[in-house]
Chains A and B, each alone.
Chain A
Amino acid sequence: MGLVGIATEKILSSFSVFLFLSILLLAVARRISTSVLLFSLQSAVITAEVLATAYQEKLAGVYVVGLLVFAIKVVAIPRAFFLLTKRLKTVRDVKASTTPTQSVFITVAMIYLSYAAVHSYGQAVHVPDDALAAAVSLILTGAFLMVSRKKALMQVLGLLVLENGIFLAALLTTFGMPLVIEIGIFFDILMGLLLMGIFTFRISDTFEHLDVSKLRKLRG
């Protein structure tokens, strides 16, 4: 086994720790730009895992997926976010409805919950518990970010974290779906983000703020 082989082994066995780190840091991040950076780093970790899987399983299609993840989630989306925050001239605070301490505790609880949840499935699908738990806790914390951050942009970011988790789960358990489907899913995500961008502009135009918790005209 060459150096690359050892590196892929290590990436697959121990990179989950960086994912846990990224969601814990997301819990305490106060600024939108910090959160976007963290998301970018998190996606970079996932890119590494995708490439490692491709190398280990010798699947050419998965390399393509890895490049797509890198281009879209590590480069394009964070750039778009930075442009948006600049153009919208919004306050840079994420407007969390929980204090950082509470957020960290909730995130830790979710990580614990993920371990408990995947315990019975991990062995059945021959995937290390850590990796699967990381995927599930990304899904949970993504959902948590969506409900606890009031800024429209942060809701989108939460959605992306959640999607990262689903993507990782698919990668770990099935080495990804067939390539055509995978590309279709990426296309959908991009279009969805484009639309959410359009809507954040419209929200800031019509309401002159980006605080979605103040959107409460429609009730009942």
Chain B
Amino acid sequence: MLLLLPIAIPVLGAGLILCFRNPRVATRAALLLGALEIGALGAVVWQVHVRSELQQGRYLRADGLSSFFLMGIAFISGLVLVYASGYLRHMGEGRFSSPRWFYALVFLFLFTMISVCLSANLGFLWIMMEGTTLASALLVGFYNTEGAVEAGWKYLVVCTVGIAFALFGTIVLYLAAVKAGMSPAAALDWVSLMDAAPRIGLDPHLVKLAFVFVIVGYGTKVGFVPMHSWLPDAHAEAPTPISALLSAVLLNCAMYAVMRYDAIVSRAVGPAFPHTLLLIFGVVSMVVAGLLILVQRNLKRLMAYSSIEHMGIIAIGLGLGGPLGLFGALLHAFNHSVAKSLLFFSAGNVRHHVGTLRMDGIQGISRTMPQTSAALLVGGLAIVGLPPFSLFISEFAILSEAFTQARYFVVILFLVILSVVFGGFAFHFFRMLCGEPDRHVENSRLIPSEYIAMGIAGLSLLFFGARIPYLFGLLLHEAMAVLQ
């Protein structure tokens, strides 16, 4: 029963919020439901930790890997809801662009992402992954401006096509499983697939074909180059809390799906094939996105390309495999989502007070908006992977794994791109933070909700950089155990 709770709360909550016409009431209801949801997710994570696995019917299951990602969803969605409660005061009243529609769609979006992590069945996983696109497309186009409509359309079409390929991959794997003698009911269940993997792998062609389609399909949602074209548009045009959700939660959920398939296929045909593909996608994404960071003009697009780069880093960690590579990949998924939320929150504040996201129009904000600038600086230092912050640890782990396996080509590219990205961020941020402010900014102090959201994100970046909390470490190792 416990597994139904985190799925039921957001669906019912979305319906409930639509009943509140008063924006303030809708916001309070959303915060309350968010707290309930986090409680439910916490209970699931704890029960998984105690019993190592939870099962509900044939379609819902949670194990160490799901609970690690659920914890990330709970943490980030909490931050986003708190930040959004203050952010929505800037929002104008439109027919479908009122706070109640915003929150209702956010909860539907959360419902689909949580269901992705809780699904026990690869078909159900696909349905929910397509659901994430549908639920978030309207949020991407929420402002109804030309840019937002264009981004929303592109997001919807590109991701639906991508995910159609993932469906084909799912079908091919199902075919391989049925041919290997599994019953149709069990042939989509990933635990049964993991058990039967060696038998399925006797005919490796179909399994490999399936993995190629799946990594292209779900890779579209992860944002691997060259299927990334939707990502910068969607991140830049969506309302800021949604940009944070897309970058910090949705990309991780898609990565979760890739990890599940990677585990099954690795066991069926050996890790060489899937890991090589992951390494290629990872390195290409990292290199292309890292170079594109240099030429960005819009602050949020800069963040979006940085997300692609970090997804590349996670894919490299997975592709290298090994204890350190997996450890780094999972930890990096979490760290990146915290750092990126902080950066998007700061970018949202900059947009409101300066009135633009074009970086050549933003100057000297360290004087006019000191608090936001501090957050931007902390986020920036963290995202480029400098030592006191947590992303350094995960990147270092991945790098050490590459050294251990003597993959010097990957090591060199990794280091070169990291320095290029560092240069790019330093260049862009220096121009924005320093210099003479060219316009007067009124009342730039953070309001309490922003303080809380950005404070927690910033502090946890520092805290996780100093040491990994005991319980978090346990969960991380339980997640790794599922993949090995």
Does A associate with B in a complex? yes
Interface of A is mostly: helix
Task: Please list 17 pairs of residues, one from A and one from B, whose beta carbons are closer than 8 Å in the complex, sorted by A's number.
Answer: A139-B168, A159-B157, A162-B164, A166-B164, A177-B171, A177-B184, A178-B123, A178-B185, A184-B127, A192-B130, A202-B141, A202-B144, A206-B145, A212-B153, A218-B150, A218-B237, A220-B297
Whether A195 contacts B147 by the Cβ 8 Å rule is no
Interface residues on chain A, size class: 35 or more
Pick the most buried of B59, B137, B150, B174: most chain A CB atoms within 10 A of its CB: B150
Interface: A143 (CB within 8 A): yes
What separation, in Å, do the CA atoms of A170 and B187 have in the docked complex?
14
Within 8 A of A (CB), among B268-325: 292, 295-297, 301
Chain A hits for B146, CB < 8 A: 206-207, 217
| A184 contact from B124, B138, B174, B185, Cβ within 8 A | B124
Interface: A116 (CB within 8 A): no
Chain A hits for B292, CB < 8 A: 220
User: Nearest chain-A residue to B184 (Cβ)?
Assistant: A178
What separation, in Å, do the CA atoms of A199 and B144 have in the docked complex?
10
Whether A185 contacts B157 by the Cβ 8 Å rule is no
Chain B hits for A207, CB < 8 A: 146, 149
Interface: B233 (CB within 8 A): yes
Whether B157 contacts A173 by the Cβ 8 Å rule is no
Within 8 A of B (CB), among A191-219: 191-192, 195-196, 198-199, 202-203, 206-207, 212, 215, 217-218
Whether B171 contacts A173 by the Cβ 8 Å rule is yes
Whether B188 contacts A177 by the Cβ 8 Å rule is yes
Chain B hits for A124, CB < 8 A: 203, 205-206
Whether A195 contacts B134 by the Cβ 8 Å rule is yes
Whether A152 contacts B153 by the Cβ 8 Å rule is yes
Interface residues on chain B, size class: 35 or more
What separation, in Å, do the CA atoms of A119 and B205 have in the docked complex?
13
Interface: B352 (CB within 8 A): no
* Distance from B172 Cβ to chain A, minimum over Cβ atoms (Å): 8
What separation, in Å, do the CA atoms of A161 and B403 have in the docked complex?
47
What separation, in Å, do the CA atoms of A50 and B375 have in the docked complex?
58
Query: Residues of B with Cβ closer than 8 Å to A?
Result: 59, 121, 123-124, 126-127, 130-131, 133-134, 137-138, 141, 144-147, 149-154, 156-157, 160-161, 164, 167-168, 171-172, 174-175, 178-179, 184-185, 188, 203, 205-206, 232-233, 236-237, 292, 295-297, 301
* Distance from B449 Cβ to chain A, minimum over Cβ atoms (Å): 30
* Distance from A61 Cβ to chain B, minimum over Cβ atoms (Å): 10
Chain A hits for B153, CB < 8 A: 152, 199, 203, 212, 215
Contact (A163, B164) CB under 8 Å given A192-B156, A195-B138: yes
* Distance from A145 Cβ to chain B, minimum over Cβ atoms (Å): 11
Whether B149 contacts A218 by the Cβ 8 Å rule is no
What separation, in Å, do the CA atoms of A185 and B122 have in the docked complex?
12
Whether A166 contacts B168 by the Cβ 8 Å rule is yes
* Distance from A83 Cβ to chain B, minimum over Cβ atoms (Å): 20
Chain B hits for A159, CB < 8 A: 157, 160-161, 164
